[in-house]
Amino acid sequence: MAVLPIRVFPDPILKKKAAPVEGASPGVSAFVDDLVDTMRNAPGGVGIAAPQVGVPWRIVAVDVSAHRRGSREPNHGLLVLMNPEILAMGGQQVVREGCMSVPEFTANVRRAEWVLVDALDRDGVRTVIEAVGFEAVAIQHEMDHLDGLLFLDRVASVKNDLFRRRKPRQAP
């Protein structure tokens, strides 16, 4: 298991659509372990997508359980989602988001309050999960990376909703 280097905007891989994964394999499993280690090593890291470490696969890892916002709400603990698709979503919330690949900024972003997601888990088994609150936001944020979108692409007003961090977080 290893901590992988995080790609930072404007790295071109962050703007490309990722390719589907065929399913679980020893190579995919080893990569998932490294992806989770990388997420857990990052300050405040609650999610990560494969393109953020330079791998153009449709894989995300999310775990909000240790974060102050996520620990107050129901959550699934560590989720590894391969080829995730949102089946349904509802409600709206505006949340302050940051990203390991955009360490100098945070922004207010409008997201769904809940999502229903179909994906393969880390063992290649099809699963459907419903997520709410902060976990739903983290899933949507990471899934955007799979389509070449950054939270910056969802900012309604750069003047009113984009904020420079006082001290940028360092990517691992």
The one-letter amino acid code at 2 reads A
Q: Is there a contact between 6 and 171 (Cβ–Cβ < 8 Å)?
A: yes
Give yes or no for a cis peptide into 10 (omega within 30° of 0).
yes
CA–CA dist 103, 168 (Å, integer)? 5
DSSP state, residue 54: T
Q: Of the residues 22, 113, 135, 142, which is catalytic? A: 142
104: annotated active-site residue: no
CA distances from 13 to 84, 130, 135, 149 (A): 19, 29, 25, 10
Q: Which residues are catalytic?
A: 142
